[in-house]
Structures are given as structure tokens and as C-alpha cells.
Chain A
């Protein structure tokens, strides 16, 4: 039931792009994305709902492929502040049911 994230880790130079994937074996109602800095709590980035549109800002966006039950997080023109561990959290049906989190993808951006 735990979603599978890939890659496990990635190193980027400033300005490079990255894609992080999250796949589930179950049909999903929503996918959440969070970023966690070392020793801190995760911070909510965005949520993608079944039937919803691609979300995001100019440089961090995400999509949700309902046919494949896969979500992808896109980081464009990465900055040093993007470093951290990215987690996806999945929900099978609505109703404030708890999220099931992937193991995370560690992203390191270097100068």
C-alpha cells in the first residue's frame, strides 16, 4: 500500500531540472507532496485531486496520471533552497483518512 518513490536520491547543480515520481498500486483519490529539511517537520507543497488539474507555481509543479496512478513532481531551474527530502502522501478515498507516505527522495542542490 505504501507508494513507491523514485529516484531515492538525486544531486543537482543550481539551475538544473529534476523530476520525482510517486507510484501506487491502488486507485487514488489524492496525492500530496511535502518537503522536509533536515531535522525539521515536513512542509506541505501541493495536493492533486482525482480529476483535478496540474498544480504548482512557476518552478515547482506536479501532475497526476489517474490511469497509471502515478504523480510526478517537477522542479525547474533548481535553487539551493530546494534541497531536502521530498515525500509523496497518498489517499485512497476522501474523508480525512490518513495519508500513506512514500520513503522519500533526497534532493541535494549544489552550487
Chain B
């Protein structure tokens, strides 16, 4: 079955450490997105990519980086510059504007 796989499900980061969240899809979707979810805040856009080798910053891109070298993959790196990274991270993809998002199951990141 097609879908989006996010890993790991839980991630613990030490102060000053960079960590990378994986997002892989086999839906053949062109567009992929990263959102951050904090309690009571809804979903806020970090980065998005509409085609391979191209991506755009979202509203809260500071302290994050991404790459899109393959259509299937859109990893997110949380750098040490992100001062408050504890949150639930969601990756999504979609085929076109006439369809909704398919979300991955999310990664819960905690700073220890």
C-alpha cells in the first residue's frame, strides 16, 4: 500500500546536537511539506518542496534545513540553532491542489 513513512517515531536530542527526521513516500507525489505542531497552536509550516531539487522556506524555517534530492524523500534536519525544538513534527505530501494531504504518522522530538 502507498503511504508516507516517518522515522523515528520518538527522538531525543541533547543540547547543541543536530538531528535528522526522515520522511519517505511511495505515492509518486510531487509536493511534500514539513509542519510543526505545538499544543494549541495548530500546524505551522517549516519547509515545503514542489519538485525535486527545489524547496521553499515556510513561516518558521529558522533553525531547520531540508533537502529534496529524490522525489520520494524529504528529510528535515533540526539544527542546534533551533532553540525550542520540542514538538510533534509532521510530514505530508499531495498530488495536486484538487486533493488533500496525506500525512505521515509523525515524529515526537524531545530535548533532554
Give me the interface of A with B, judged by CB distance under 8 Å. 2, 29-30, 32, 34, 40-47, 49, 87, 89, 91, 94-104
CA distance A49 to B98 in the complex (A): 8
- The CB with the most chain A CB atoms within 10 A, among B30, B41, B44, B97, is that of B97
Give me the interface of B with A, judged by CB distance under 8 Å. 30-31, 33, 35, 40-45, 48, 50, 58, 90, 94, 96-106
Residues of B within 8 A of A47 (CB): 98-100
Q: Which of A44, A97, A100 is the one whose CB lies under 8 Å from B101?
A: A44
Q: Which of B40, B44, B97 is the one whose CB lies under 8 Å from A96?
A: B97
CA distance A95 to B51 in the complex (A): 11
The answer to whether A43 and B97 touch across the interface, beta carbons within 8 angstroms, is: no
CA distance A104 to B40 in the complex (A): 8
- Contact sample, A vs B, 18 pairs, CB 8 Å cutoff: A41-B90, A41-B104, A41-B105, A42-B43, A42-B103, A46-B100, A87-B43, A89-B43, A94-B97, A95-B50, A96-B30, A98-B58, A99-B101, A100-B45, A101-B43, A102-B42, A103-B42, A104-B40
CA distance A97 to B30 in the complex (A): 11
CA distance A41 to B45 in the complex (A): 15
- Report, nearest first, the 9 A-B pairs whose CB atoms are least far apart: A44-B100, A94-B97, A96-B31, A41-B103, A103-B42, A101-B43, A101-B42, A98-B48, A98-B45
> Whose C-beta in chain A lies nearest to the C-beta of B90?
A41
Residues of A within 8 A of B40 (CB): 103-104
CA distance A102 to B37 in the complex (A): 12
CA distance A49 to B99 in the complex (A): 10
Residues of A within 8 A of B102 (CB): 44
Residues of A within 8 A of B104 (CB): 41
Residues of B within 8 A of A95 (CB): 50, 97
- The CB with the most chain B CB atoms within 10 A, among A42, A87, A89, is that of A42
